[in-house]
Chains A and B, each alone.
Chain A
Amino acid sequence: EAQVTQNPRYLITVTGKKLTVTCSQNMNHEYMSWYRQDPGLGLRQIYYSMNVEVTDKGDVPEGYKVSRKEKRNFPLILESPSPNQTSLYFCASSSNDRVATGELFFGEGSRLTVL
């Protein structure tokens, strides 16, 4: 089954404790991206990757890091989480022929709470 898999799905952590949210897709997609979703603000892009070893900032990259060492994986790293990073996070992927028009495949989401 074609899917985007995120882990963990739920996490409660404390300020300053480094964490990684993993994202893996099995569709051989070149493009991957991270979004966060907050009430009243909608989905906002954090980082994206056009292909292996190619990453760039989205609208809200502060406090986050990413890497793209393999085509299928795109982990999101919070080096020193803070309470304002409490949010619902989505990983998304797409093929090059679809991404230009905006069709993305989303993961199930990871709900992160930072105390």
Chain B
Amino acid sequence: EDKVVQSPLSLVVHEGDTVTLNCSYEVTNFRSLLWYKQEKKAPTFLFMLTSSGIEKKSGRLSSILDKKELSSILNITATQTGDSAIYLCAVALTGGGNKLTFGTGTQLKVEL
């Protein structure tokens, strides 16, 4: 059974801290790994990583895919209160349905 596991489940940091969120996966037919940010509404797309593009960066956020360890990290530097959200990791599989298998998410709270 395909599985995506995120850690930690939740964490609280202070503004300005750097955080690292983890995602590991056990799936057949891996195509890509994605990170989404979910505030109080719809998940929004952050990054997509594939075997040919294992590192992405956008502002204070960056992500790396470790193909050997079947895992990914999402780093957020100089955190702000607006970074408070649930961060979802998902893996896209080849084959029918273009289904995403999601982890349960990491709840991040950034305090002043």
- Interface of A toward B, CB cutoff 8 Å: 4, 31, 33, 40-45, 48, 50, 56, 58-59, 90, 94, 99-109
Chain A residues contacting B43 (CB-CB under 8 Å) are 43, 90, 104, 106
> Which of B34, B41, B99, B105 has the most chain A CB atoms closer than 10 A to its own CB?
B99
Q: Is the CB of A90 within 8 A of B48?
A: no
- 0/1 string, B31-51, CB within 8 A of A gives 1: 110100000011111001010
Q: Is the CB of A42 within 8 A of B98?
A: no
Question: A100 to B90, alpha carbons, bound, how many Å?
Answer: 13
Q: Restricting to B11-64, which residues have a CB under 8 Å from any CB of A?
A: 31-32, 34, 41-45, 48, 50
Q: List 28 A-B contacts (CB under 8 A).
A: A4-B42, A33-B98, A33-B99, A41-B104, A42-B103, A43-B43, A43-B102, A44-B102, A45-B99, A45-B100, A50-B98, A58-B97, A100-B98, A101-B31, A101-B48, A101-B92, A102-B31, A102-B32, A102-B48, A102-B91, A103-B34, A103-B45, A104-B45, A105-B45, A106-B44, A107-B42, A108-B41, A109-B42
Chain A residues contacting B44 (CB-CB under 8 Å) are 106
Give the interface size class of chain B: 20 to 34
Chain B residues contacting A56 (CB-CB under 8 Å) are 96-97
4 additional contacts (CB under 8 A) given A101-B31, A102-B98, A103-B45: A48-B99, A58-B97, A102-B34, A104-B45
Chain A nearest Cβ from B16, distance in angstroms: 30
Q: Is the CB of B100 within 8 A of A101?
A: no
Asked if B85 is at the interface (CB within 8 A of a chain A CB), the reply is no
Q: Is the CB of A40 within 8 A of B104?
A: yes
Question: A4 to B48, alpha carbons, bound, how many Å?
Answer: 21
The answer to whether A103 and B48 touch (CB under 8 A), given A43-B88, A90-B43, A109-B41, is yes
Question: A4 to B97, alpha carbons, bound, how many Å?
Answer: 19
Chain B residues contacting A43 (CB-CB under 8 Å) are 43, 88, 90, 100, 102
